[in-house]
Structures are given as structure tokens and as C-alpha cells.
Amino acid sequence: MWKIWMILTCLARCSIAHVSFTNLKCNMIDKKFGSFEICHIKAVNRTHKYIDVNVKLNILPINNIMIRLEAMRYDNGYRPFFMAMNFDFCKYMKNPRQRSMIFLKEIHSTFINASNLNHTCPYNNDVLIDKFWTGNLENAFLGLLPVPNGEYAIYSTWYTSKILRLTVNIYFKITN
């Protein structure tokens, strides 16, 4: 039995997939809360791109952050691909090793080194994501999860003090 598990694990880890960012949409819903100074995709070379986001915050400190993540797949329009997740980011950052949030931990681990969202609340500074490149996603997820080729998106909706503040949608393509 363990041999079958080892073979399946190897097949999943050995699968080679490529992620390419195709679009990035940043929308500040509450203009009093802040603004996006930078929100773009840059090409490193023909195959890899990275994302830069700089959010200038006007209302500080931030003591609570709720985030909704939705994984979408393109099929005559973007449709849900995986269940939507709502979570308290401040609570997660106090204890990121919670078993109940293992999927969130994997998502966070892909961009923790490229952002300043790496400490507990309160946040007293602007939010920066600097050179978050596609290789992070390839190493974190696609080596472990078999995801079919196609166009995908991750929709994120951010709330503070139970007020909708901003949305960030990342669009990407997966090819083998």
C-alpha cells in the first residue's frame, strides 16, 4: 500500500506545470481608506512575470483584517473552481500553524517573502508586495496538486472593521 502512495506522491511532485500571470486588477472600494500606488505585472523574461502592488493606507493602525478568497476557472466566463474561503487574517497571523488553516498557510507561504504582511496586527504601514513571481506558485502548489491546464483567477476581497475596503484579482494561465 505504501508503494502506491509513494508512486502517486512522486507523480504529483514530478508533474511539471508552468504558471504565467495574465492580468491583475486592483480596486480600492473605499477611497478614504487608501489608494493603489502600484498595481502591475512585469515581465522577467518570455516565460516568467512578477507582480508588484503598493497600497498607500490613510487609516492606520489596522487591527482587524478579514479576507475572502475565491479560486475561479475560466469556462465561458470565470466560475468557482474551489470553495470560497473567509478568514480572519490577524487571527491567522497570531498562529499560522493551525491545522484548520493549512490551505491558507500554503497560499501565504507563496508570497510571504515578497510582502510586508509577515507579522501580527496591528499594521501601521503601507502594504507592499514586491516581485511576487510565478515560480512561487509553481513550487508551492503545482508540484503537489494536479491542476488541469487552463485560465484561472484568484479573487480576493479585503475588509477592515467589517467594511469592504478593496479587491485584488489575480489572473493566470497554467500549462504543462
Q: What is the pLDDT of residues 90-101, one digit of tens each?
A: 988 888 777 666
At 4, phi and psi to the nearest 5? -65, -45
pLDDT tens column, 28-59: 999 999 999 999 999 888 777 899 999 999 99
C-alpha cell at 8: 502517486
Instruction: Give the pLDDT mean for 158-174.
Output: 94
Q: What range defines the domain where residue 24 resides? A: 2-175
Contact present, 156 and 26 (Cβ < 8 Å): no
The number of folded domains in the chain is: 1
Give me the pLDDT at residue 19, please.
Answer: 83
CATH number at residue 126: 2.70.220
What pLDDT is stored for residue 22 in this prediction?
93
Give the number of other Cβ atoms within 10 Å of residue 146's Cβ: 11
Name the pTM for this structure: 0.83
